[in-house]
Amino acid sequence: MFDFSNLLEFSHNHCIAICAALVPANVLSTFYAIVLVWLQRPVSQVWQVSGLASVFALLMVLHVLTWFIIGVVMVPTFVLLSLGGVCLSINLWVILHPQSLRRFLDILGRRLGTLRTGTASLS
């Protein structure tokens, strides 16, 4: 049987290194998946990047859960859990319904474009 205590101990002993690697990996790979959807890249390419990004996000969530198991409840644990959850949600959106994400990005781009030119009304 697999001994989880060694895995938990590794997670706690190397927390800073794990977070230093997973936080940028989460943000960059999720952003890359969004860009690939926006550029209408092939589905296989989008799925590969989003799948890898989902693995990073899931590892982040699992790492934070190891801290919850021993009772560490602090602001950084909630921030990292939120980051992992948001990245995982976005990657699931990329995989399951890229068309709606593309529409959302188009609307967002138009709104930001009108804000930049100053033609948007405040009402």
Lowest mean pLDDT among 6-20, 22-36, 41-55, 75-89: 6-20
**What does DSSP assign to residue 12?**
H
pTM of the model: 0.84
Distance CA 91, CA 113 (A): 25
Q: For the residues 18-26, what does the mean pLDDT come to?
A: 95
Quote the pLDDT of residue 120.
Answer: 52
Quote the pLDDT of residue 73.
Answer: 86
Q: Please say if the pLDDT value at position 44 is more than 60.
A: yes
Residue 3 Ramachandran class (φ > 0 left, ψ -120 to 50 alpha, else beta):
beta
Q: What is the mean pLDDT of the chain?
A: 90
The secondary element (H helix, E strand) that includes residue 57 is: helix 43-69
What percentage of residues in the chain have a pLDDT greater than 90? 72
Quote the pLDDT of residue 103.
Answer: 94
Lowest mean pLDDT among 13-17, 68-72, 90-94: 68-72
Instruction: Give the residue from 50, 54, 23, 25 showing the smallest Cα distance to 35.
Output: 50
Q: Please say if the pLDDT value at position 114 is more than 80.
A: no
Quote the pLDDT of residue 52.
Answer: 96
Quote the pLDDT of residue 112.
Answer: 87
Q: For the residues 47-61, what does the mean pLDDT come to?
A: 96
